[in-house]
């Protein structure tokens, strides 16, 4: 029990220090004009428990690409709003601790592909072990970007998450899909081929073209 209190006290001391260190690193990397523009946005994001590190990265990306401070401010404010919407939508009906920064960022990026928050929430609810959804949501977005209908991609990725398909394997789906598509397969067949190549079982209820129905396969 004393050890637990000691660890808790240590965390209370160390976490603010780590945050303060990150703040200092960030402040030293950003010019005064840009900092003046983005600091209020970052402060508000911190208050709202948004993924502040992702917002800081967006600021640094803008500086690296020689973007004007005002435009950086606009982009970061818009991104913070996207995070705010994603966090608010995903928190509905979920315990607060179930949501990490990675999930919020991934959900916001998925929303840009017109993948609804309800789809991402269904993915969150289907994970058996509380693991990170950053990769599954990214794969889902990539499949939609490649022309796979949202419902079909969502069914597949929900199945992947629910059956605990290794994420390293799941993340290869878009690449295998590209290969099949490049070989001339239509999207639906390309997705089937990608799953076969990775030895991922089909989600229930799917009847992929070109595959024999159960009972007609030769025995053995």
Partner 1 sequence: MSPRDDWREGIARSTDFRILLVAAFVLSIGMLSPAKGWAQAPRWEIDLNASRIEYDTMAALNAPSISTLVDWRRPSLFGRLSGSVTGFQNAGWSTQGRGDLAGLFSPFGVLNPVRIELAGTAGGSRHSSGFNSFIAGVDARLHVRGRSVGGWAGASLTSGRNSFDTASVMGAAPSAGLWAQRGPIRATLSYLHTRISGEFYPEVDFTFSLSQGALDLTVYGGLRRSPFEGPGLHESWAAATAAIWVHPIAALVFSGGQYSSDIFQGLPGGRFVSLGIRLTLRRVRPIPIAARAPIIYTPEAARAGSIGFEVDGARQVEIAGDWNGWERVPLAQDATGRWVVPVGLAPGAYRFNLRVDGERWIVPEGVPQMDDGYGGRVGLLIISNQQ
- Interface ranges with partner 1 (CB under 8 A): 25-26, 29, 54, 57-58, 60-68, 71-72, 75, 78-79, 102, 105-106, 109, 112, 132, 134-135, 138, 141-142, 145-147, 166-169, 171-172, 174-175, 178, 181, 187
N-to-C CA span, the chain? 59
Q: Could you tell me the two tokens for 30? A: 């950003």
Q: Which tokens belong to 59? A: 């600021």
Q: How far is the CB of 140 from partner 1 (least distance, A)?
A: 11
Nearer CB in complex with partner 1: 7/164: 164
- Closer CB to partner 1, 62 or 158, in the complex: 62
Q: Smallest gap, in angstroms, from Cβ of residue 24 to partner 1?
A: 13
> Residue 59 half-sphere exposure, CB side, CA atoms within 13 Å?
27
**Torsional sign, CA 119, 163, 96, 57:** negative
CB of 42 to partner 1, least distance (A): 15
Contact at 8 Å (CB) between 113 and 174? no
Shorter beta-carbon distance to partner 1: residue 112 or 211? 112
In the complex, the smallest distance separating the C-beta of residue 15 from partner 1, rounded to whole angstroms, is 19
- Report the residue number, 65 or 217, with the smaller CB distance to partner 1: 65
Least distance to partner 1 from the beta carbon of 65, Å? 4
Report, in Å, the least distance between residue 63 CB and partner 1.
Answer: 7
Nearer to partner 1, 29 or 88 (CB): 29
173 near 202, Cβ under 8 Å? Answer: no
Residue 77 or 122 having the CB closest to partner 1 = 77
DSSP assignment of 83-143, as one string? Answer: HHHHHHHHHTTS-GGG--HHHHHHHHHHHHTT--HHHHHHHHHH-SS----HHHHHHHHHH
Distances (CA, A) of 64 to 23, 33, 119: 18, 15, 34
């Amino acid at each position: 029990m004393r050890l637990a209190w000691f660890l808790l006290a240590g965390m209370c001391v160390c976490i603010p220090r780590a945050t303060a260190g990150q703040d200092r690193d960030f402040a030293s990397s950003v010019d005064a004009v840009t900092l003046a523009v983005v600091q209020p946005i970052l402060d508000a994001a911190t208050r709202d428990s948004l993924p502040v590190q992702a917002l800081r990265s967006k600021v640094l990306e803008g500086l690296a690409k020689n973007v004007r401070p005002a435009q950086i401010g606009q982009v970061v404010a818009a991104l913070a709003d996207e995070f705010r919407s994603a966090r608010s939508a995903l928190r509905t009906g979920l315990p607060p601790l179930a949501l990490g920064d990675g999930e919020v960022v991934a959900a916001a990026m998925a929303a840009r592909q017109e993948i609804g928050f309800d789809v991402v929430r269904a993915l969150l609810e289907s994970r058996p072990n509380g693991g990170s959804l950053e990769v599954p949501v990214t794969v889902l977005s990539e499949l939609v970007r490649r022309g796979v209908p949202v419902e079909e991609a969502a069914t597949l990725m929900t199945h992947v998450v629910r059956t605990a398909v290794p994420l390293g394997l799941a993340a290869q789906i878009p690449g295998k899909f590209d290969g099949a598509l490049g070989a001339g397969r239509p999207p639906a067949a390309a997705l089937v081929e990608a799953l076969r190549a990775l030895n991922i079982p089909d989600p229930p209820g799917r009847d992929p073209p070109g595959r024999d129905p159960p009972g007609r396969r030769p025995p053995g």
